[in-house]
Amino acid sequence: MAEKFDVIVVGAGMAGNAAAYTLAKAGVNVLQIERGEYAGSKNVQGGILYAQAVEALIPEFRESAPLERHIIEQRIWVLNDKSYIGTHFRSDNFNEERPNRYTLVRAQFDKWLNGEVKKAGATVITETTVLELLKDETGKVNGVRCDRENGEVRADCVILCDGVNALVGSRSGVRKEINSKEVALAVKEMHFLPRDVINERFNIQESEGVVIEILGTVTEGMLGTGFIYTNGESLSVGIGVIVSDLMKNRINPSTLLEKMKSHPSVAPLLKGSEVKEYSAHLLPEGGYDSVPELSGNGWMVCGDSAHLLNAIHREGSNMALTSGRLAAETYLELRDKGQPINAENLKKYNQKLENSFVLKDLKKYRRMPHIMLENKQFVTMYPDLLAGAAETLLRVDGVDKKTKEKKITKDFRSARGIFGLVGDAFKLVRAWR
Amino acid sequence: MHIVVCIKQVPDSAQIRVHPVTNTIMRQGVPTIINPYDLFALEEALRVRDRFGGKVTVLTMGPPMAEDSLRKALGYGVDAAVLLTDRAFAGSDTLATSFALATAIEKLHQEDPVHIVFTGKQTIDGDTAQVGPGIAQRLKLQQLTYVSAIRDVDSAGKSITVERRAEGGTQVLKTTLPCLITMLEGTNTLRRGSMDDVFRAVRSEVRTWSARDAGVEDITKCGLRGSPTVVKKVFAPQPRMEKAQQIDALGKSPAEIADETINMLFTASNQLGDDILKLTEAI
Amino acid sequence: MTEKKAAPAAPTRASAKKELPEHFKDYKHVWVFIELERDEVHSVSWELLGEGRKLADTLKVDLCAVVMGPPGEGLEKAVRESWGYGADVTYVVADPILADYRTQSYTEGLETLINTHKPEIILLGATTLGRDLAGSLATTLKTGLTADCTGLEIDDGSLAATRPTFGGTLLCTIYTLNFRPQMATVRPRVMAMPDFTEGRSGKRIDFPLNIKENDIITKVLEFIPDTTSDKVNLAYADIVVAGGMGLGSAANFQHVMDLARVLGADYGGSRPTVQKGWIPAERQIGQTGKTIRPKLYIAAGISGAIQHRVGVEGADMILAINSDPNAPIFEFAHYGIVGDATQILPALTKAFEQRLSKMRKAG
Ligand SMILES: Cc1cc2nc3c(=O)[nH]c(=O)nc-3n(C[C@H](O)[C@H](O)[C@H](O)COP(=O)(O)OP(=O)(O)OC[C@H]3O[C@@H](n4cnc5c(N)ncnc54)[C@H](O)[C@@H]3O)c2cc1C
Ligand SMILES: Cc1cc2nc3c(=O)[nH]c(=O)nc-3n(C[C@H](O)[C@H](O)[C@H](O)COP(=O)(O)OP(=O)(O)OC[C@H]3O[C@@H](n4cnc5c(N)ncnc54)[C@H](O)[C@@H]3O)c2cc1C
Ligand SMILES: Nc1ncnc2c1ncn2[C@@H]1O[C@H](COP(=O)(O)O)[C@@H](O)[C@H]1O
């Protein structure tokens, strides 16, 4: 006889842990199945955590969660081959009692959060991959099949939190396969340095942290961004590029990462570090239009698996945590009212997402992915133009400032043409609105 | 038949880092794994059980979090698990470790007579290969190290025939039970537990024993106090003073580089040519 | 829990202070266990006599060898050779029961000998036999044993045994201050082979083995010697050519074998090449593979990780070929070529071939 649970949660990433925690806390007999050796073992994240989404689950999480540093400074750098031009924002206001953003190492954080899931009473099994959904004769999902002997397990409801590849859903025919234009491939390395060296290089104190977002020629004309995050005793250094661009250009993302690391503005930050943990991971960056069907007869889908990620602000973990929690709350409401777990009733989950920041934000940036994909000048031409402009202005060489400004305007115009420039500005504004 | 397997939770040494300035180990975030060599012991124990009947108990001495390793072992199909954990064990060297493990095995033996104790060949952190023989001597078990195959266990559970890796060949040994086997690596492939094993692993009880629970009477034989060896110094290997003399390869063809290299080697050692001629004579 | 030991000396450890009990004070002399199997002595035993000599000289005591085995010419030859390699005194335990190595007979025999003649230091090879015996003996003697040492010294009258720890990333020095004998094992080829002095002789002390075959529980049913084809003599080869992941594929390993053939060398590789199945496990060089001491070591496409380095540092001359000028191997190689190994190796093979044939013609 196959085992039977109330709910099965597939995956122990951010979304899966939020769902399983919420359910177990409410006394639901929940089984969580993770393919990795332990929760977090396969997860990659450059590593920014937004506190609010965790607080909604575990208000006092700061006391026990493995957090690396709270962020007090954000830098945005636009690189060309030799220089960067950028903005830095730093404020002592971020040194607050309950900081809003943290850097973290996913492997440790996920393990911790999953520990809380277990404490709440969920049954968690690892090193077990869910292959597909099982359905009864009416087509309602009533369990999963795993890659082990006697691998069938039954449940009233299955919550899919299996991350960006979303293989369980596509294999089971509840969604289409992901498309290379919708996903970015990110490669990341951990660069280990002593804490004091990091503090010195980034001009920060004990648990303060800095985030650098990197745009520009490092992506060789392809759509993507790089990043450097300060952890306690390491830096997360990575770059992500849309997969269809990589395929078109036949470029290996690790080549791009090498290039970024050797950039004269980046290299001094990494000097002398010991590199460990090279990893590659996909990010769902298609935005609102790529979000699949969110629920159906006996199932819901959350987090990356549901394409809930805001590429512009690099927010994914909070959307995953929130969607996982909302899926669990949907189940709890139905259970409390004694309503069946069917397609009709699970639509409540879709509504909850529509009403939350998750789908609201994705809707706001709906056009961004298309605009960026079709207008490569944002990443190809502008970095050089901006850097050239800054250099022209800053270099004291006897040329008067007015002539300099003229040269800059001329450079921009000849590169892109006046209509192009205005159009670009318009597109960006429209996308952002 | 009752089989005990000793496994150890070790830091994944591939991921250990050394602080470049202070030369101390940076343990933060280094994941732990079951000592890879112990997995061969684990699998072999399960095979013996499957062939000849009985049950397998896994035993580990370590901090409370070593329970993870035991649960993992249960997921492979082991029947019972015991965690030996006590502050008194901290700082044990191999003599003190084998004392603690032997005491616990003795206690298991009283509950249900033990026929075979399995250990790995060695650990990847201690790397001594001494704990297995240590347990055998303390419990007066027949000691079979570097076993590559188990040929037979007689039906009454009285004797065992094994193949043992020795210098220059393989010994086929027959001995009486109880015995201790340290299993050679690469001799089997670890199975994947069924779904039932996995559920049992999360649900079964892991017995946790303190030194007293395990039956240790003389606490001075444990931990730091029971360890005759003393580590006085830990340090990073010294780099050699001068770096390699580079053969100038810039703009040269491989053939030119090769010629230059041979000149350099022959100049460095005027015997090298003769040595090579001698070595190649037979061919 | 043994990992705790890597912490700098914990002051709480009772044995950390030297207070050698009275009954250990008459333990004297340095012993080396001579590993004799099927009439052949494992060279590691001679290497240990070389190392033991230095310890004995520092302590101003005798260097003693222990030869155990069945009576016969093999054993007699081992005794003579032990003197030639530097032993002042050789203890001989000759008994037919010792024809095959078995833990029980060797442990009991050696234990009685030690309890009677009381050595302060005893060294064994870290071979399958040596490790089996040392582990068992240290437990029955209730003393400290340090495995796989890479350095042995006398510090303030005690044995300071240095060995790799934490997967070879660090070294640690271990003492057995308040127990005797102080025991250590050393892997083959880690220490240099000492010179052999023809005709040198020493004192011989015969010692009985009071065990009967019936008392020994384990029986040897059969010994299956390794076929010559699986015998890899890498550890003792004069020239070794090795390849690493930098070769890119199993097929490219042919370049390594070709050069090895032309040089009359043996070949090996780094651990990942073994894990990939490019070469068999016996050919792995390094901390968890073989330690080598060739006259010439050529490493192609090997980064030079510490675990590899500890296995090759004893080489007289190291030539490294690596495309990365910053590869760590250049920090301990004597000669370096920055370049593509898949091109340099065939070029070297060809150039050596031509050079050697010229030399052969010249006679
Ligand atoms: C390089 C990089 C940097 C990022 N930086 C940030 C950032 O700074 N801030 C931020 O908020 N977000 C960031 N993100 C995004 C964020 O990591 C994701 O949005 C978030 O992890 C999604 O959570 P999830 O639970 O949906 O998926 P995941 O975290 O991917 O979890 C899915 C889990 O399911 C398991 N699984 C998959 N398939 C199966 C199966 N068939 N059976 C069983 N288990 C299965 C996986 O092993 C995994 O544990 C980043 C992502 C990347 C790649
Ligand atoms: C507990 C433990 C024990 C270990 N024991 C051992 C051991 O006994 N032996 C061992 O070897 N390792 C051992 N290792 C592994 C060790 O840490 C290294 O991972 C390993 O030695 C690296 O092998 P490599 O140099 O072949 O590969 P890599 O590290 O991948 O290096 C490949 C090198 O090839 C160079 N290269 C690339 N292309 C070319 C080209 N075309 N031409 C020339 N050069 C090129 C690269 O620059 C690089 O330096 C152990 C590790 C652990 C954790
Ligand atoms: N703390 C421990 N708990 C259980 N088994 C251990 C422990 N330490 C060592 N062992 C066993 O002894 C074997 C040899 O260990 P070592 O002597 O440290 O190389 C290992 O492969 C384990 O099977």
- The per-residue pLDDT for range A233-258, each reduced to its tens digit, is 899 999 988 888 888 888 888 888 99
Q: How far apart are CA B118 and CA B132, in angstroms?
A: 8
Residue A226's domain spans which residues? 183-284
A84 within some domain: no
Q: Please check whether residues A232 and A355 belong to one and the same domain.
A: no
Q: Which residues of C106-116 are buried (b: 16+ CB within 10 A; e: fewer)?
A: bbbbbebbbee
Asked whether B99 lines ligand 3 (CB < 6 A), one says no
Which residue is listed with tokens 């005709």? C199
Residue range C350-360, pLDDT digits in tens: 999 999 999 88
Decide: C240 and C294 in contact? Cβ < 8 Å. Answer: yes
Expressed in angstroms and rounded, the spacing between residue A270 Cα and the centre of ligand 3 is: 39
pLDDT score for C229:
56
Least confident stretch, A177-181, B64-68, C53-57: A177-181
CB-nearest to C139 from B25, B129, B133 is B133
Looking at ligand 1, which atom is closest to the CA of residue A238?
Answer: 1
A87 within some domain: no
Reading the block at residue C75, the tokens are 């054993």
A314 within some domain: yes
| Of A349, A365, A381, the domain-final residue | A365
Asked whether B6 lines ligand 3 (CB < 6 A), one says yes
A79 within some domain: no
The answer, yes or no, to whether residue C7 has pLDDT greater than 50, is: no
Whether A123 sits inside 8 A of B199 (CB atoms) is yes
State which residues of chain B have pLDDT below 50. Answer: none
CB-nearest to B171 from C131, C223, C352 is C223
pLDDT score for A423:
66
Q: Please check whether residues A56 and A141 belong to one and the same domain.
A: yes
Q: Please check whether residues A146 and A268 belong to one and the same domain.
A: no
Whether A153 sits inside 8 A of B75 (CB atoms) is no
pLDDT score for B232:
87
Residue range C224-255, pLDDT digits in tens: 998 765 567 888 899 999 999 999 999 999 99
Chain B residue numbers with beta carbons less than 8 Å from the beta carbon of A105 are 29
Q: Please check whether residues A217 and A255 belong to one and the same domain.
A: yes
pLDDT score for C6:
44
The closest ligand to the CA of A313 turns out to be 1
Whether A148 sits inside 8 A of B195 (CB atoms) is yes
Cα distances (angstroms) measured from residue B56 to each of A225, B47, B104, B113, B155: 53, 10, 15, 12, 17
Indicate the SS3 state at residue C247: helix
pLDDT score for C136:
97
The closest ligand to the CA of C290 turns out to be 2
The closest ligand to the CA of B133 turns out to be 3
Q: Is C216 in CB contact (< 8 Å) with chain B?
A: no
A80 within some domain: no
Of residues A380 and A329, more confidence is placed in A329
The answer, yes or no, to whether residue C23 has pLDDT greater than 70, is: yes
Q: How far apart are CA C102 and CA A418, in angstroms?
A: 91
Whether A274 sits inside 8 A of B192 (CB atoms) is no
Q: How far apart are CA A358 and CA A318, in angstroms?
A: 9
Cα distances (angstroms) measured from residue A207 to each of A108, A419, B158: 17, 47, 62
Which residue is listed with tokens 């000048």? A377
Expressed in angstroms and rounded, the spacing between residue A361 Cα and the centre of ligand 1 is: 19
Indicate the SS3 state at residue C32: strand
pLDDT score for C138:
96
CB-nearest to B168 from C8, C177, C225 is C225
Looking at ligand 1, which atom is closest to the CA of residue A44?
Answer: 53
The separation between the first and the last C-alpha atoms of chain B, rounded to the nearest angstrom, is 56
Residue range A93-123, pLDDT digits in tens: 888 888 989 999 888 899 999 999 999 999 9
pLDDT score for A277:
73
Give the distance from CA A348 to its chain's centroid. 25
Whether A128 sits inside 8 A of B198 (CB atoms) is yes
Q: Please check whether residues A45 and A145 belong to one and the same domain.
A: yes
pLDDT score for A251:
84
Task: Label the pairing between strands B25-26 and B17-18.
Answer: antiparallel
SS3 per residue for chain A: CCEEEEEEEECCCHHHHHHHHHHHHCCCCEEEECCCCCCCCCCCCCCEEEHHHHHCCCCCHHHCCCCCEEEEEEEEEEECCCCEEEEEEECHHHCCCCCCEEECCHHHHHHHHHHHHHHCCCEEECCCCEEEEEECCCCCEEEEEECCCCCEEEEEEEEECCCCCCHHHHHCCCCCCCCCCCEEEEEEEEEECCHHHHHHHHCCCCCEEEEEEEEEHHHCCCCEEEEEEECCCEEEEEEEEEHHHHHHHCCCHHHHHHHHHHCCCCHHHHCCCEEEEEEEEEEECCCHHHCCCCEECCEEECHHHHCCCECCCCECHHHHHHHHHHHHHHHHHHHHHCCCCCHHHHHHHHHHHHHCHHHHHHHHCCCHHHHHHHCCHHHHCHHHHHHHHHHHHHCCCCCCHHHHHHHHHHHHHHHHCHHHHHHHHHHHHHHHC
Q: What is the CATH number of the domain that holds A227?
A: 3.30.9.90
Distance from CA of B92 to the nearest CA of C (A): 5
Whether B236 sits inside 8 A of C171 (CB atoms) is yes
Residue of C nearest to B242 (CA): C331
Chain B residue numbers with beta carbons less than 8 Å from the beta carbon of A149 are 192, 194-195
Asked whether C116 lines ligand 3 (CB < 6 A), one says no
Report all structural domains of chain C as residue ranges with CATH numbers, in order of start. Answer: 22-215 (3.40.50.620), 234-362 (3.40.50.1220)
Chain B residue numbers with beta carbons less than 8 Å from the beta carbon of A232 are 28
Looking at ligand 1, which atom is closest to the CA of residue A167?
Answer: 41
Q: Is B110 in CB contact (< 8 Å) with chain C?
A: no
pLDDT score for C170:
80
Confidence category of residue A379, pLDDT binned at 50, 70, 90: low
Expressed in angstroms and rounded, the spacing between residue C215 Cα and the centre of ligand 2 is: 49
Which residues face A235 on adjacent strands?
A: A191, A230
Q: Please check whether residues A113 and A157 belong to one and the same domain.
A: yes
What does DSSP assign to residue C284?
B
| Of A284, A317, A337, the domain-final residue | A284
Asked whether C72 lines ligand 2 (CB < 6 A), one says no
Q: Is C285 among the annotated ligand-binding positions? A: yes
CB-nearest to A146 from B19, B22, B195 is B195
pLDDT score for C240:
96
The answer, yes or no, to whether residue C13 has pLDDT greater than 90, is: no
Expressed in angstroms and rounded, the spacing between residue A163 Cα and the centre of ligand 1 is: 5
Q: How far apart are CA C213 and CA C289, in angstroms?
A: 36
Counted domains in chain A? 3
pLDDT score for A45:
59
The answer, yes or no, to whether residue A53 has pLDDT greater than 50, is: yes
Q: Please check whether residues A125 and A56 belong to one and the same domain.
A: yes
Q: Is C166 in CB contact (< 8 Å) with chain B?
A: yes
Least confident stretch, A412-426, B110-124, C199-213: A412-426
pLDDT score for C3:
41
The closest ligand to the CA of B16 turns out to be 2
| Of A365, A382, A413, the domain-final residue | A365
Decide: C286 and C242 in contact? Cβ < 8 Å. Answer: no
Q: How far apart are CA C65 and CA C80, in angstroms?
A: 11
Whether A276 sits inside 8 A of B21 (CB atoms) is no
Q: Is B140 in CB contact (< 8 Å) with chain C?
A: no
A83 within some domain: no
Q: Please check whether residues A112 and A10 belong to one and the same domain.
A: yes
Instruction: Say if B and C touch: at least 3 Cβ pairs within 8 Å.
Output: yes
Expressed in angstroms and rounded, the spacing between residue A277 Cα and the centre of ligand 1 is: 17
Q: Please check whether residues A241 and A327 belong to one and the same domain.
A: no
A360 within some domain: yes
Q: Please check whether residues A386 and A427 belong to one and the same domain.
A: yes
Distance from CA of B233 to the nearest CA of A (A): 22
The answer, yes or no, to whether residue A169 has pLDDT greater than 70, is: yes
Q: Is C18 in CB contact (< 8 Å) with chain B?
A: no
Whether C5 sits inside 8 A of B237 (CB atoms) is no
pLDDT score for A200:
93
Q: What is the ipTM of this complex?
A: 0.82
Q: What percent of chain A has pLDDT over 90?
A: 47
Report which residue type is found at B247. Answer: I
Q: Is C337 among the annotated ligand-binding positions? A: no
Average pLDDT over residues C205-227: 93
Average pLDDT over residues C317-331: 92
Distance from CA of B45 to the nearest CA of C (A): 20
Q: Please check whether residues A272 and A308 belong to one and the same domain.
A: no
pLDDT score for C1:
39
Task: Label the pairing between strands A299-301 and C30-34.
Answer: unpaired
* Best mutation site among B82, B97, B146 for ligand 3 pocket (most ligand atoms within 8 Å of CB): B97
Confidence category of residue C4, pLDDT binned at 50, 70, 90: very low
A82 within some domain: no
Asked whether C340 lines ligand 2 (CB < 6 A), one says yes
Let me know if B250 is exposed, middle or buried by CB neighbors in 10 A (0-12, 13-18, 19+).
exposed
Asked whether C245 lines ligand 2 (CB < 6 A), one says yes
pLDDT score for C11:
38
CB-nearest to A3 from B17, B31, B199 is B199
Q: Is C254 among the annotated ligand-binding positions? A: no
Q: Please check whether residues A280 and A310 belong to one and the same domain.
A: no
Chain B residue numbers with beta carbons less than 8 Å from the beta carbon of C167 are 13-14, 16, 124-125
The answer, yes or no, to whether residue A312 has pLDDT greater than 90, is: no
Pocket of ligand 1 (CB under 6 A): A 10-16, 33-36, 42-48, 129-130, 161-163, 167-168, 186, 188, 238, 240, 281, 283, 303-305, 309, 314-318, 320
Chain C touching partners, 3 or more CB pairs below 8 A: B
What does DSSP assign to residue C15?
G
Whether B229 sits inside 8 A of C145 (CB atoms) is yes
Q: How far apart are CA B86 and CA A42, in angstroms?
A: 32
Q: How far apart are CA C171 and CA C164, in angstroms?
A: 4
Expressed in angstroms and rounded, the spacing between residue C48 Cα and the centre of ligand 2 is: 30
